[in-house]
Structure 1
Amino acid sequence: MDIFKLFFNHDQRLDKLAKRNANKTPEEVEATLADFMKPDPTYSKFYITGTRLEEEKFGLDTLNKGSHIINQLGDVFSDRTIYTSTGSFENLSKALSATDIGGVMVIASEEPTIDFETLRIDEESNIGHKKEGLSNILKSGAYVMYKEQAHDGFDLHLLSMENIYPSLFDAFQPLVEEDFRFFSINSKRMGSERHFYFETWTLDRPPHGAEEVFTETVL
């Protein structure tokens, strides 16, 4: 059985932390206060993963419907091009095949001007320390996707200033059937690794924050 999980986290603060310096000039202090009074730009973050339950295989690409998920996700971006360090792609599956673990894909209407290597992560890292670079890309209206290490394959980490959750929901819901169970999960309510892998111990009574999506579920 495929257990497919879409984690979401909205209203994440985008701006980089203010420079900490006790010797700021009056002009810098005034600028800092002005920035403080502005609304913080926010973004949405999605983590796309899954478990092949009987075999206890963890990773989006371990699922029987892994290729179908990727195709459905690619359709969400059909009006954009996927840019990577190795070139540009119209097809998400091809972009993923050309991207190593830790690599980044920028999904945009026009080619971005960035150094992909400055945004790369490694297996021991995460996207948090890339905040300043990510901020500039997201503010341009592009989406950013990372191919992240899973126990037995890879997962996908997707960021966007636009809340594209409805589009993702609509893309994945048609895959639901007896052997494919889809859970929509509020990341803010899943605070531990045990919760992250809830399907291994409490599948039919998921913790608060994890809602199963059925064929008749509506937003």
Structure 2
Amino acid sequence: MTSMDIFKLFFNHDLRLDKLAKRNANKTKEEVEATLDDFMQPDPTFSKFYITGTLLKDEKFGINVLDKSKAILENLNLVFKNYQFTATTNDSFNSLTNGLTNIQIGEALIISDNDRLPEIDLATLTIDEESKVGHKKDEIRSVIESGAYLLYKEPAHHGFDLHLFSEENIYPRLFEAFKPLVDKEFRFFSINNKRMRSERHFYFETWTLDNPPHGAEEVFSETEI
């Protein structure tokens, strides 16, 4: 088998922002009781994207193992051109690629186009696989409500994936950034995560690459959004 990158962009749109809030059991009576004005307002939503890949020949999993890993990160960097990048360690970087190179797996970058950062301890955003402390919903909500994006360097089987949280739906920008990479050795799948029901579906490329499950659409050079 010749070398082939299988690149997957999972998307979830219109997720309710209140799902990133603490549970009702921990709220005060005042927080639980919504006013009529609150009730009449549309529910604020957010989007999240999971970016992963498989080097099919070796069945290795992670963005970093792909032949075009450098190009993927460079194109993603262009999506956030002229933004500021602050790590959960409070270190600042001049580009997304530089930031991802310097942070550890489980850490994240806060991507902002202004000087305003969420008023939280950024270190609390770090995920810890050993202690099983995962994503903290309240902290994530604080970031995206501030107008910033949150990009995690997620653990993968053979390195790392990327997990992006955004208050706005930036799928079109991501789609246009990655589509130019498509060629005979780089296959790009856009995937509605709500339709992926199991780990077997997540890794569909290992058993049904040319007949992907419902919700996974292959992107070609002529594909339009």
TM-score scaled by length of structure 2: 0.89
Secondary structure of the 2:127 match is coil
- Following superposition, which runs of at least 4 residues in structure 1 exceed 2 angstroms of deviation? 17-24, 28-39, 123-127
* Aligned pair partner of 2:49 in 30, 46, 53: 46
CA–CA distance in 1 between the matches of 2:77 and 2:28?
49
How large is the RMSD of aligned CA atoms in angstroms? 2.0
Secondary structure of the 1:118 match is helix
1:109-150 superposed Cα distances (whole Å, 9 cap, x missing partner):
1231432211111224542xx111111211111100100000
> Are 1:169 and 2:175 matched, yes or no?
yes
Shift of 1:37: 4.5
Give, as a single letter, the amino acid of the residue that structure 2 aligns with 1:142: A
- Cα distance 1:176–1:36, how it changes in 2: closer, same or farther (>3 A)? same
- State the partner residue of 2:217: 211
Shift of 1:200: 0.1
Secondary structure of the 1:32 match is coil
CA–CA distance in 2 between the matches of 1:132 and 1:138?
10
CA–CA distance in 1 between the matches of 2:105 and 2:156?
9
- Is the Cα–Cα contact under 8 Å of residues 10 and 163 in structure 1 kept in the other structure? yes
CA–CA distance in 2 between the matches of 1:18 and 1:36?
18
CA–CA distance in 2 between the matches of 1:22 and 1:153?
38
Unaligned runs of 5+ in 2: none
> Are 1:197 and 2:203 matched, yes or no?
yes
Aligned sequence identity (%): 57
- State the partner residue of 1:82: 85
Aligned length: 214
- State the partner residue of 2:58: 55
* Aligned pair partner of 1:20 in 5, 25, 44: 25
> Are 1:97 and 2:114 matched, yes or no?
no
> Are 1:72 and 2:60 matched, yes or no?
no
Moved more, 105-114 or 133-142: 105-114
Secondary structure of the 2:154 match is strand
Moved more, 117-126 or 66-75: 117-126
Shift of 1:79: 2.4
- Cα distance 1:23–1:190, how it changes in 2: closer, same or farther (>3 A)? closer
- State the partner residue of 2:5: 2
- Is the Cα–Cα contact under 8 Å of residues 176 and 215 in structure 1 kept in the other structure? yes
TM-score scaled by length of structure 1: 0.91
